[in-house]
A and B are shown apart, each in its own frame.
Chain A
Amino acid sequence: MTSASTPAKARGGANPYLKRLMWPLAVLVALIVVNIAVTGFDFIVPSVNDDRLGGAFVNILRRSAPLLLVSLGMTLVIATKGIDLSVGAVYAIGAAIACQMIIDAENQSAPGLIFAAVALALVVTGVIGAWNGTMVAYFGIQPIVATLILMIAGRGIAQLVTGGQIPKVQDSSPFTELGRGAILTVPVPIVIAALVLLLLALLTRRTALGMLLESVGGNPEASRLAGIRSKGITVLVYLVCGLCAGLAGLIGAANLGSADANNGGLWIELDAILAVVIGGTALLGGRFFLLGTTIGVVIIGTLEDTIINVGLSSQWQFTAKAIVVFVVALLQSPEFRAWILKPFKRKPETPAPAPAEEVLAK
């Protein structure tokens, strides 16, 4: 692949992680600058009303929380050279199980019930993830095929759970706090997403899981010959991905107060893959960047607001998203950077971030 051709410039004390994050971060900053230029500093500065943080940017973060959860799980799966297409369906299953269990109960506000509903949803989505992982690791089915099965079947399962209806939880139920509440003024979805990010960062970087994942994804045969138990690791990663998707579904359902088996988390797998790629994790597997994925998610979330703020109609949304992906992909391509920097070939490490803004301003 692109080995050995990388210039021996990757040293110089610069943390390779920061280097990878630099381009997504530049795009995010550019987006934020555009928004501030159009709507003023209110865009970024949080306001406090009703004892909770508000403001445009905080809302973006709150809305992005489910996507972030799904994307974090996806990052780990992609690091193993895999992919999980079923996350949208698993999202719907998680939402459906929790909501259906709550509306089936007499008292929708009983704490024990809420706890049991959440736990059951997470257990089921975890099992579904592990099933995906088992098919990939032990049965040798290609990840895209293995997870495609549940991508299709999953929404059917969710429909069976809800009996084809859209279960609506009472607004008074504490369950909705998962999506609408706040802890110490911070919206609950942001708290949960931040905690999961922290937890996964610790799980992968404080243990050897992250390195072994990258090894398995980077070179499966070398990893086998080095004696790594790659099957167990693969199952674990898909399990985590399923759990994340289920949790995302719970937050989404709590926010809406209902679970829509057909449309809940629709196409979220594609946004998640997008966020992972924007964040610098290659679809070929190997090195992964949880923080990069986070930035990717925020870019996607911010973009939607930016389109409205700069006065474009919402029909621009998909096109603009595509343009951003295009720009980030180009910026991450060593070939493109070498080509664009050729005329300035004095100091190899001072590229101009200008093109990003130009394209976005269109």
Chain B
Amino acid sequence: MSDEPIVQMTGIRKDFTGVRALDGVDFTLRPGEIHAVMGENGAGKSTLIKVLTGVHTPDAGQIRLDGRPVRFHSPGAAQAAGISTVYQEVNLTDNLSVAENLFAGREPRLGPFINFRAMRRKARALLDDIGIDLNVAAPLSSYSIAMQQLVAISRAVDIEAKVLILDEPTSSLDRDEVAVLLGVMRRLAAQGTAMVFISHFLEQVYEISDRMTVLRNGKLVGEWATANLPESALIGHMLGREAATLEQIERAVAAHRVADEAPLVTATGLGRKGSIAPYDLDVHRGEVVGLAGLLGSGRTETVRLIAGADRADSGELRFEGGKVGGHNPRTAAARGIAFCPENRKTEGLVGDLTVGENMILAMQAARGWARSIPVARRDRIVAEFIEKLGIRPADPDMPVKNLSGGNQQKVLLARWMIIEPKLLILDEPTRGIDVGAKADIQRLVAELSGEGMAVLFVSAELDEVTRLSDRIAVLRDRELIAVLESEADMTTERIVDTIVAGGKND
């Protein structure tokens, strides 16, 4: 393993309107190494990769490839320079043969014709080299996703890839398939290919990677040799402690929860195959229950079952003591369960509609189309909530897509606050928004629970979860592994310990 880096990125900065996605990040990749880039959602992993592969151009900083400064303006340019990417979804052509997929666009030719015999021969040689055994004449679709992924990797390797980026390649694979994939990666590393590995499966990262770079909130936390970074330290680095810029919110836990009252929501053995293992969870009035865990641990999946966004295939949900049947978002809203989904743009807001329209959407949906909310009443409600939540610009007629992330989140919150729900489910409400809006939303959550609303709060930031929650449900590998109840447990360290310990048990 030579120490001369093949890729060296220094001081990379990338801004998107109003948000600094990368802030002075360094990244070094050496030949023959498998380098994991770690971080939570929004940490800047994907932006870093996109800068390296030419999807984004950096606003500042330098990229050196083989010691020479380079600047990629398109993914094609990066690929021509020897940087190939294999994505989670295989982007090959299903109905062509394996060989055709391997050589698409660079087929061996015989005059103007494709030399299929040579192509099949070269394909077999290539796959032998990598160590997988496939019928190269069979259509790609006849093989599993894992095999297709390996074909994609083989293709990338054969196009003289010096650097191979694997973005969540294992997320749709089963255990044996993962083993094959990791085997191939090892073989490639031995041949000198440098690989960037992105995965939220810590086990695999520890098994395969030589080195890790950890990002948090667009900043570099550090680079470590995998052997020198224990799992607990890694999780600590990834989740981190929020800088003290946020206003401290007083924890008035005891005052919130009405102890002797029956829970508002009780989930018993609630689960959904392939999404979240059956879990038990209850939420009381005036209580904030936080959900903590790493990316992909099942936080979102847990709350989506309670919200009626996904259908549970096992267990039982009780709300206000009664069994909930035929659960869907509409009946959930009618019961008083409000759900602000994780992805504001694709699942939350209707971008073309105005701020005001987005705010009254849930209320209007509950009334049906025939019973329009009178204009005067509507204007009053919208103005009230724009004022109350401090939405800027305070223009109810502006298309919501023109607002910043923080203001969009407030619009989404307003939509549900208007119908005065009994249970408010917030999935990553503070992700990707500026610090001011973050503090506003945290304060609001504390306020609402103080008024007796039950809140389920999902966040990747442990600091935020510990500060706001009365109790914390901890998840790992799509399983709810513990509910932390005592005041002493409300620390980031306890959560990290729980996640790590949860992993050792199985």
Contacts and interface: CB of A to CB of B under 8 A. Distances in A.
Contacts of A6: 399, 401-402
Range class of the A interface residue count: 20 to 34
Contact of A227 (B346, B348, B366): B366
A226 B361 contact: yes
Given A225-B341, A227-B333, A227-B334, A212 B350 contact: no
A209 B357 CA distance: 12
A226 B365 contact: yes
A3 B349 CA distance: 12
A233 B361 CA distance: 15
A10 B362 contact: no
Contact of B351 (A11, A212, A219, A224): A219
Given A214-B350, A222-B349, A222-B350, A227 B402 contact: no
Interface string A109-132: 000000000000000000000000
A214 B398 contact: no
Interface string B318-352: 00000000000110111000010100011111111
Nearest to B333: A227
Contact of A11 (B361, B367, B398): B398
Contact of A233 (B307, B369, B397): B369
Contacts of B402: 4, 6, 8, 10
B353 A215 contact: yes
A209 B346 contact: no
B364 A211 contact: yes
Q: Kindly name the residue among A208, A215, A219 whose own CB sees the greatest number of chain B CB atoms within 10 A.
A: A208
A209 B372 CA distance: 8
Contacts of A4: 17, 351, 401-402
A340 B236 CA distance: 52
A222 B348 contact: yes
B376 interface: no
Contacts of A11: 393, 395, 397-398
Interface in B391-407: 393, 395, 397-399, 401-402
B371 interface: yes
A207 interface: yes
A229 interface: yes
B113 to A, nearest CB: 38
Interface in B36-82: none
A3 B367 contact: no
A16 B399 CA distance: 10
Contacts of A8: 402
Interface in A213-246: 214-215, 218-219, 221-229, 233
Nearest to B375: A206
B497 to A, nearest CB: 35
A130 B401 CA distance: 33
A332 to B, nearest CB: 14
B488 to A, nearest CB: 37
B125 to A, nearest CB: 43
B415 A226 contact: yes
A215 B361 CA distance: 8
A229 B17 CA distance: 35
A220 to B, nearest CB: 10
A336 to B, nearest CB: 20
Interface string B295-321: 000000000000101000000000000
Q: Kindly name the residue among B334, B393, B399 whose own CB sees the greatest number of chain A CB atoms within 10 A.
A: B399
Nearest to A229: B330
Nearest to A216: B350
A286 B358 CA distance: 13
Given A215-B353, A218-B350, A227 B332 contact: yes
B274 interface: no
Nearest to B356: A211
Contacts of A215: 350, 353, 357, 361
Given A3-B345, A208-B372, A228-B330, A218 B364 contact: no
Contacts of B368: 208, 229
Q: Kindly name the residue among A11, A211, A233 whose own CB sees the greatest number of chain B CB atoms within 10 A.
A: A211
Given A10-B402, A225-B341, A227-B334, A209 B349 contact: no
25 contacts: A3-B345, A3-B401, A4-B401, A6-B401, A10-B398, A206-B372, A207-B370, A208-B364, A208-B368, A208-B372, A212-B365, A215-B353, A215-B357, A218-B350, A218-B352, A219-B346, A219-B349, A219-B350, A221-B346, A225-B341, A226-B415, A227-B365, A228-B330, A286-B352, A286-B353
The 4 closest A-B pairs by CB, nearest first: A227-B333, A227-B330, A218-B350, A228-B365
Interface of A: 3-4, 6, 8, 10-11, 16, 206-209, 211-212, 214-215, 218-219, 221-229, 233, 286-287
Given A209-B369, A222-B341, A286-B350, 12 more contacts: A4-B351, A11-B395, A207-B370, A211-B357, A214-B353, A223-B365, A225-B339, A226-B329, A226-B361, A227-B332, A227-B333, A228-B330
Interface of B: 17, 307, 309, 329-330, 332-334, 339, 341, 345-353, 357, 361-362, 364-373, 393, 395, 397-399, 401-402, 415
